[in-house]
Chain A
Amino acid sequence: MIRTVSARTLDRAKILLFAAGLFPLARWIWLGMQNDLTANPVEFLSRSSGTWTLVCLLVTLSVSPLRQWLQQPALLRWRRMCGLFTFFYASLHALAWAWWDQSFEWAPMLSDVWKRPFIMVGMAAFLTMSLLAITSTHGWMRRLGRRWQHLHSLIYAIALLGLLHYYWHKSGKNDFTTVAIYAAVTALLLGWRLLRFQKRRAP
């Protein structure tokens, strides 16, 4: 039986989570210093930021199942930071597109979003995620009350949109190995919630 970790301990250890969240950024800087960002650093960073967004998203989604499996309810106190790191890497990913791909030209950006489902789906996920990031504070939790819970259920839609975006990206090479791995983990995490939902409903 594992000892239940107190909320205070987890609060104090939050700095470790923060450091872990900065790992991808630190890695990019390190690779940049070694001149090791491939012959096409712009493409590498655009893709890498997208990959890490997905990873952070799945980490965020695994907090609730882990709370139950490990019987550590206090883990909830780490969930917001996981979500905000997801938003941080998603922002860098969107910035990479707007800057490197589109040179901040508004008209081509809008037409890119409108014409290409691949971009549209990614943008929809990012905008929805921005809404969740803004309302992640205690103040907004209080103001929204029960509705906060409903609003933040949108993370499931974001996860599916993100996966679809990644699937379309990879479909150019018919290369679905990594997509299948991310999809399987997502299915596991969402499936666990469905089961829990059904159990609660059952008399």
Chain B
Amino acid sequence: MPNYRAPQIHSSEITPEEVWQSRRHWMKAAGASLLTGAAAGWPSIGGAATLPSLDATVSKQFFTMEPRTPEKDAASYNNFYEFGLDKGDPVKHAHRLQTSPWKLRIEGEVVSPKTLDIDDIRKLAPLEERTYRMRCVEGWSMVIPWIGYSMSELLKQVQPTGNAKYVEFITDVQPKNMPGLSSRTIQWPYNEALRLDEAMHPLTMLVLGMYGKVLPNQNGAPVRLMVPWKYGFKSAKSIVTIRLTEKQPVSSWMKALPSEYGFYSNVNPEVSHPRWSQATERRIGEDGVFAPKRKTLMFNGYGNEVASLYTGMDLRKNY
């Protein structure tokens, strides 16, 4: 029998999936901007491969040996209700988010309120890449390399007054670009808050990018919060206002479902959600369909760093 050899295809001839996928996004976005006549600025695009890269020093302090979640999963499985309730909705609709120009206002109980644009924020402190675990309240988790710096760098600049006890983070509202705003699930704008000492903790991060690039819109471009020891919804996306307050702010989720979501929302395997257990989680993109769920760690495994913030508190009451 003659030996048949299939023709070899050079790997250089194969178009990587991200590239051909991004072409579709790019063409859609280009078409959309032509229609709307939005000529100013680069159209915001959902495809990860087309995003500009963002240089950062890899942090040795904030690092995990756990495998990273595939970028495709982290950028396509999102909760961002402004773009729809389904986790597949944000990647479909978030290209409509207008991220440039962007102004971030820091106000309230501060000595010097500031309004910054993205370039100001980028230059404010050296950018670091930190790999954090992220645990969603719904029972799944990811491991994501974020780019940014500690939120404290920003807060030091505005000098909180003696009255400042809490920090509130408010997401932008763009009625024309956010199809999810018609849902009455929660009150818009989306807001979240931390105690000032939580916000000043070095782990609490102001995020501008992930996976070596600027943030995809569905992940909260151009600037978001990341608090790795709390459930994911605490880490507000696409932030336009940071407000320091004396009184504890009421977050969107506390208003919507006070029995299910409290102010602290620390990852805690011992305190169940009213409708499901929080003892275990499924790691997206890593745990196979036949693998059992893994155990959730107290404070998402950041207990050594943050447990002292809650000394003497009953974390069952302060959920």
| Contact present for B77 and A40 (CB under 8 Å) | yes
Give the residues in chain A near B293, CB-CB below 8 Å. 100-101, 103
> Closest Cβ of chain B: how far from A53's Cβ, in Å?
19
- The answer to whether B174 has its CB under 8 Å from any CB of chain A is no
> Closest Cβ of chain B: how far from A145's Cβ, in Å?
42
- The answer to whether A134 has its CB under 8 Å from any CB of chain B is no
Looking at B99-107, B157-165, B241-249, B277-285, the stretch in contact with chain A turns out to be: B277-285
Question: In the bound complex, what is the Cα–Cα distance between A115 and B260 (angstroms)?
Answer: 15
- The answer to whether A41 has its CB under 8 Å from any CB of chain B is yes
| Contact present for B284 and A175 (CB under 8 Å) | no
- The answer to whether B302 has its CB under 8 Å from any CB of chain A is no
Partner of B77 from the list A38, A112, A116 (CB cut-off 8 Å) is: A38
Give the residues in chain A near B140, CB-CB below 8 Å. 40, 43
| Contact present for A172 and B292 (CB under 8 Å) | no
Partner of B76 from the list A39, A115, A173 (CB cut-off 8 Å) is: A39
By beta carbon, the residue of chain A nearest B293 is A103
Give the residues in chain B near A174, CB-CB below 8 Å. 183-186, 256-257
Question: In the bound complex, what is the Cα–Cα distance between A116 and B260 (angstroms)?
Answer: 13
Query: What number of A-B contacts does a CB cutoff of 8 Å give?
Result: 53
Give the residues in chain B near A108, CB-CB below 8 Å. 277
By beta carbon, the residue of chain B nearest A37 is B289
Give the residues in chain B near A41, CB-CB below 8 Å. 289
> Closest Cβ of chain B: how far from A25's Cβ, in Å?
16
By beta carbon, the residue of chain B nearest A111 is B277
Give the residues in chain B near A175, CB-CB below 8 Å. 85, 183, 185
By beta carbon, the residue of chain B nearest A115 is B272
- The answer to whether A168 has its CB under 8 Å from any CB of chain B is yes
| Contact present for A39 and B185 (CB under 8 Å) | no
In B185-210, the 8 Å CB interface with A consists of: 185-186
| Contact present for B257 and A172 (CB under 8 Å) | yes
Question: In the bound complex, what is the Cα–Cα distance between A38 and B92 (angstroms)?
Answer: 13
Give the residues in chain B near A182, CB-CB below 8 Å. none
| Contact present for A39 and B73 (CB under 8 Å) | yes
Q: How many residues of A contact B (CB 8 A)?
A: 21
- The answer to whether B5 has its CB under 8 Å from any CB of chain A is no
Residue-wise, chain A 27-44 has the 8 Å CB interface mask toward B (1 for contact) of 000000000001111110
By beta carbon, the residue of chain A nearest B287 is A42
- The answer to whether B87 has its CB under 8 Å from any CB of chain A is yes
In A81-122, the 8 Å CB interface with B consists of: 100-101, 103, 108, 112, 115-116, 118
Question: In the bound complex, what is the Cα–Cα distance between A114 and B186 (angstroms)?
Answer: 30
Give the residues in chain A near B277, CB-CB below 8 Å. 108, 112
- The answer to whether B88 has its CB under 8 Å from any CB of chain A is yes
- Report if A172-B260 is in contact (Cβ < 8 Å); known contacts: A38-B77, A39-B73, A40-B282: yes
- The answer to whether B276 has its CB under 8 Å from any CB of chain A is yes
- The answer to whether B316 has its CB under 8 Å from any CB of chain A is no
> Closest Cβ of chain B: how far from A95's Cβ, in Å?
13
- The answer to whether B156 has its CB under 8 Å from any CB of chain A is no
- The answer to whether B275 has its CB under 8 Å from any CB of chain A is yes
Residue of A39, A40, A116, A175 with highest tally of chain B CB at under 10 A: A39
Residue-wise, chain A 12-52 has the 8 Å CB interface mask toward B (1 for contact) of 00000000000000000000000000111111000000000
Question: In the bound complex, what is the Cα–Cα distance between A40 and B77 (angstroms)?
Answer: 8
Give the residues in chain B near A42, CB-CB below 8 Å. 282, 289
Question: In the bound complex, what is the Cα–Cα distance between A171 and B109 (angstroms)?
Answer: 36
By beta carbon, the residue of chain B nearest A43 is B140
Question: In the bound complex, what is the Cα–Cα distance between A40 and B73 (angstroms)?
Answer: 9
> Closest Cβ of chain A: how far from B76's Cβ, in Å?
6
Give the residues in chain B near A43, CB-CB below 8 Å. 138, 140, 282
Enumerate chain B interface residues (CB-CB to A < 8 A). Answer: 72-73, 76-77, 81, 85, 87-88, 138, 140, 183-186, 256-257, 260, 272, 274-277, 282, 284-285, 289, 292-293
Ordered by A's residue number, 27 sampled pairs between the chains whose C-beta atoms are within 8 Å are A38-B88, A39-B73, A39-B87, A39-B284, A40-B87, A40-B140, A40-B282, A41-B289, A43-B138, A100-B282, A101-B276, A103-B293, A108-B277, A112-B277, A116-B274, A116-B275, A116-B276, A118-B275, A168-B275, A173-B81, A173-B85, A174-B183, A174-B185, A174-B186, A174-B256, A174-B257, A175-B185
A-B pairs, top 3 by smallest CB distance, nearest first, are A39-B77, A39-B73, A103-B292
